[in-house]
Amino acid sequence: MRRFKHFIDDNALKELFLHGRNYTWSNERENPTMTKIDCAFVSIDWELDHPNCLLQALSTTISDHCPLHLALEEHMRPRRRFRFEKFWVKMDGFMDVVQEAWTCDEAISDPFKRLDILLRNTAKDLAIWGQKRIGNIKMQIIVANIVILRFDCAQETRLLTDEERLLRRTLKQLVLGFGSLERTITRQKSRITWLREGDANTQLFHLVGNGRRMKNYIPPLLVDGHIIADQAGKEVAFHEAYKELLGKDVVHEFTLDLDALTLLG
């Protein structure tokens, strides 16, 4: 076992997340003993080459072990997650975007459905607005640094015009501001490891994304004897389940007139 652990550490192997089961072996007695002794280990390079892999548990059939099925090209089609940036509230036009997006069809009476639509509309409009106002920060910093370098090289052979010096000064202020904004965004969405490594480590960036996607992936659902595999069907099933769990708004037959009670505060 020690040699096996050394082998895993020396080759930087990681265990794939298993969907469908917590344990892979059972003695199948009245009070069963269950353990997870069947695993799948992969290297970092292999995971980067197969980002859409999916490991699932199958039926034990005639064995007491649970077979593992590894699909290399499982089409998860994850949606891009919405991230609210704290600095948005300090920018001009933020409240205008929220007010314009906070609309819903009056024909929809279900309060949970209305809230869901309002939040979706607001998130979509904020993402578009933020992209238009800010754009790709890293790309803008790179382009600004290239233009500044061109001016620096030109200054060695000739005098810069007033417009060129003004543009270079403006670009330097732009780089300084975007650098501060980039650090703010990174602190908001990062933990200690991400702050230390940064997304300059491309492997770390992709591995974190793949790991979250595999763990958050929901396989087909079984609802009232029907198997639901499409994304739209899953959303409807979860909405109906939470709607039934939370209950409905009930109109009370009696109300209290607090003003008529003349209670002293």
Instruction: Characterize the bridge pairing of strands 54-57 and 221-223.
Output: unpaired
Instruction: Work out the pLDDT band at 75, boundaries 50, 70, 90.
Output: low
3-state SS record for 18-83: EECCCCCEECCCCCCCEECCCCCEECHHHHHHCCCCEEEECCCCCCCECCEEEECCCCCCCCCCCC
pLDDT in tens, 26-74: 888 888 898 888 888 988 788 878 877 888 888 877 788 888 888 887 6
Under 8 Å between Cβ of 21 and 57: yes
3-state helix, strand, coil in the chain (%, to 5): 50, 10, 40
Under 8 Å between Cβ of 164 and 156: no
Q: Where are the domains of the chain?
A: 2-71, 86-216
Amino acid 109 reads S
Under 8 Å between Cβ of 151 and 168: yes
What is the pLDDT at residue 80? 65
What is the pLDDT at residue 200? 53
Under 8 Å between Cβ of 46 and 185: no
In the chain, which ranges are E strands?
14-15, 18-19, 25-26, 34-35, 41-42, 54-57, 68-71, 221-223, 226-228
Amino acid 121 reads N
Under 8 Å between Cβ of 198 and 189: no
Nearest residue to 197 via CA among 212, 209, 181, 186: 186
What is the pLDDT at residue 206? 61
pLDDT in tens, 164-206: 889 989 988 888 888 877 777 676 666 555 555 555 555 666 6
Lowest mean pLDDT among 93-102, 150-159, 236-245, 255-264: 255-264
